[in-house]
Structure 1
C-alpha cells in the first residue's frame, strides 16, 4: 500500500497526506459544482470555487469606493497572498484600500480593506504579520481575516482591538478550499459570512481625503516600485483614468481577467526593520513602521505629487501634505498604499 507523500503548509508547517489531499480536492470540486448550480438557480451567477476556466466570480458592484460618509463603520481586512502561485487573486478589485507590505525573503503580501462593498469571494487568504496590527489600529475594531500566524505573534493578534477571524474561529462555511490550486494557495473567504454589508464612513479614520486634484504635480506615465524580491509598475491609463497595476513584470488581473487598476497610488517610504518574529524556516519577518513621518509619492490623474506623510499614533490616520503645505487629496476610487523601505 502506498503511503501518500506529505506536503507542508508554508505558513504553519502542518503536514497533509497527499492521498488525503487528492480526495479532499475531488470532494471540493464536487461541492463547488453543486454550489455553483444552486447559486445559479437563485441569483443567476455564483463564485467559481473549482476551476479558473469554469464559471466566473460575480463582478463587484459598480459603485466606486472613497465616497462620502458621515460616520465611522466597521471594515473587513483580508490578508491576501501575492506570490506568483497565488495569482490571479479573487475579489481584490472590490477593495477600498490595498496595502502592500514587505514580508520574509523580500517578497510582498497584500492586505485588502473593504469599507464600502463586499465581493462574493476573496483570496487566496494567507497569514498575518505584525505590520498589520499597527495598520489596523486606525479603524474601529475591524475584522481581520487571515489563515493563521506565527505562534508567538498569535497572542498579539488575540490582544489587539480587532475581531480576529482565522478559519478555526470563523463561522462555518466562511472559508473554503478551491480545487484549482494546491495548498496553501487555495484558501478563499466568503466575506458575507463574517460581516454584514459595510456601513458608510468606514474610511474616515484613515485620514485620507478624497476630492479634486491639488495644483502642481509632475506629469507621469509610469512609476516603478521595487522590493528586494518583488516589483510593481503603475501605468497611467488615460482611457480608464486609473493606474494599471503590473506585478513582477506581468499585468495584474482579477480571476475574471479584469485588469487591476487604482485611482490613487501612494508610494509611502517607511522604516522597515526586523521584527521579533520569523517564519518556519528561520527567516526574520520585517516590520514596516507606519507611525511617524516621512516622504511619499502620490499618483493620481496622471500626475505624481511629492508629499509628506504623518501619523501621530497607531490610533490615528495618516495625513498627506503637498510640497506647498496643502492637504493632498486622493481621487475617488481604489487606493493602493505601497510601503517601501526609506
Structure 2
C-alpha cells in the first residue's frame, strides 16, 4: 500500500478510482534562479494515446514526466513555470501516483480532467491546488481537432497561475552546467511499456534528442518535432495501486520515493547515475558513479519512469 495513500487517505475510504522548433530552449531562455525564489508550477496531466496526438503545448514545458497507466499505456505530466503556453492538452484524469510525484514542488497547480470519486479526497488533501473543469470551467474548452474524450484543453491564461521566470527543473534541484566527465556515446535509446514505446535519437545538428512515440515522430500541434535537451530514464517500482479505471483495470502506482539506478542522456552521451528521494517532501537527486551531482544541458528535460 503506497505510503502516500496512507498519509492522504486517513479517514477516507480507499477503493477503486477511477522538424524545426527543437532549438527552442525553455531553460536557456530563463534567467538564473534568484536566491529564495520558488517556481510557481503548473502541472498538467496530458493524454498520450494515438487519438490524442499531436498534443498542444508540450514544447513549452520545463519538465515532461512520462508515466505508465492502465493497459500498459502512457500519460504525460507536463510541468510549466518559466513560461506558459496559450493552450495545453488534451487534458486527462489524475492518478494516485501524480500526488506523490508533485510533492517535490511548492504547492503546484495541478490541471486534470477529473478523477475516480474515491481518489478525490486524496487530491483534496494533497498540498497542491487542484484545477479541473468542475472547479474552473472557464479555463477549459473542448477543441475540434480530436474526438472526445481526447479534446479537452486548458487555457493557462484564464487561470491565476503566475510566472516568475524560475525554471521548474532548477527549482527541484537539477543543475544546468558543463557535462560531467565520462559517459558513453550513444545514438538512440528506447524505453518500452507493455503497450507504448518512446525513442530518443540524438541530433547533433539540432543539439537535441528527437522524440518518437510508438514508432512515429512526436510532433507539436504546429508540426515541429519534439526534442529534449536531456532524457532521464529513471528505473522505479511500478505496482498496482488502490484504484481502478472505469473499465475495472487496476491503475499502476509508480513509486518515486526511494532510490535506484537511472540513465541520463545529454549531448549525445549516456551516463549511469543513481537517483535518490528519501521522502515525499524531498526532491529527487541524481548523482554519478563517483558520487558527484549530475549536471544537465540547458533545455527541456524528459523524465521517463521505467520498471526496474
What corresponds to 2:4 in structure 1?
Answer: none
Q: CA deviation at 1:224?
A: 0.6
Q: CA deviation at 1:208?
A: 1.2
What corresponds to 1:228 in structure 2?
Answer: 194
Aligned equivalent of 1:65, options 22, 27, 42: 27
CA change 1:60–1:253 in 2 (3 A) is closer
3-state secondary structure, aligned to 1:121? coil
What corresponds to 1:329 in structure 2?
Answer: 295
CA contact (8 A) 2:140 2:155 kept: yes
Question: Comparing 66-75 with 218-227, which one deviates more in the overlay?
Answer: 66-75
Q: CA deviation at 1:73?
A: 2.4
CA contact (8 A) 1:79 1:109 kept: yes
5+ long unaligned stretches in structure 1: 1-11, 14-58
Distance 2:196 2:246 in 1: 21
1:244 aligns with 2:210: yes
Q: CA deviation at 1:104?
A: 0.4
Q: CA deviation at 1:62?
A: 5.0
Question: How many aligned positions are there?
Answer: 285
Q: When the two structures are superposed, what TM-score results if normalisation uses the length of structure 2?
A: 0.89
1:75-224 map, 5 Å: 75-170=41-136, 172-203=137-168, 204-224=170-190
5+ long unaligned stretches in structure 2: 1-16
RMSD: 1.8
3-state secondary structure, aligned to 1:173? helix
CA contact (8 A) 2:240 2:253 kept: yes
Q: When the two structures are superposed, what TM-score results if normalisation uses the length of structure 1?
A: 0.80
3-state secondary structure, aligned to 2:121? helix
CA change 1:88–1:305 in 2 (3 A) is same
1:314 aligns with 2:280: yes
3-state secondary structure, aligned to 2:175? coil
CA contact (8 A) 1:76 1:195 kept: no
Runs of 4 or more consecutive aligned structure 1 residues displaced over 3 Å after TM superposition: 59-63
Alpha-carbon deviations, 1:268-310, whole Å to 9, x = none? 0001110000001110000110011000000000000000000
Distance 2:165 2:181 in 1: 29
Of the two structures, which has the highest relative contact order with CA contacts closer than 8 Å and spacing of 6 or more?
2
Alpha-carbon deviations, 1:199-252, whole Å to 9, x = none? 133524422111110000000100010011100100000011000000000000
What corresponds to 1:264 in structure 2?
Answer: 230
Alpha-carbon deviations, 1:39-89, whole Å to 9, x = none? xxxxxxxxxxxxxxxxxxxx9995522642121121000000000000000
CA change 1:95–1:246 in 2 (3 A) is same
Q: CA deviation at 1:253?
A: 0.2
CA change 1:173–1:337 in 2 (3 A) is same
What corresponds to 1:31 in structure 2?
Answer: none
Bigger CA radius of gyration: 1
CA contact (8 A) 1:117 1:197 kept: no
